[in-house]
Amino acid sequence: MHLQDSLALVTGGLSGLGRATAEKLAAQAKHVLVLDLPREDGDQIAAQIGANVRYIPADVTKSDDVAAAMDRVRELGQLRVVVNCAGVATPGKVLGREGVLPLEKFAKVLEINVNGTFNVVRLAAKVMAHSESLVDEHGTAERGVIVNTASVAAFDGQIGQPAYAASKGAVAAMTLPLARELAQHQIRVMTIAPGIFQTPMMAGLPQAAQDSLGAQVPHPSRLGRPDEYAALVEHIVANPMLNGETIRLDGAIRMAPR
Name the DSSP class of 15: S
- Using the Cα atoms of residue 90, residue 91, residue 92 and residue 98 in order, give the sign of their dihedral: negative
Strands 144-149 and 7-11: unpaired
- The DSSP bridge partners found for residue 167 are none
Instruction: Report the relative pairing of strands 53-57 and 31-36 from DSSP bridges.
Output: parallel
Distance CA 131, CA 17 (A): 27
Please identify which of the residues 164, 175, 193, 234 carries the catalytic annotation: 164
**Type of residue found at 201:** M
What is the spatial distance between Cα 82 and Cα 127, in angstroms, rounded to a whole number? 11
For residue 184, give the amino acid letter: Q
164 is catalytic: yes
* Longest alpha-carbon distance in the chain: 60
Give the distance, in angstroms, between the CA of residue 225 and the centroid of all CA atoms in the same chain: 15
- Kindly report the CA angle at 179 between 141 and 116, in degrees rounded to 5? 120
Residues annotated catalytic, as ranges: 164
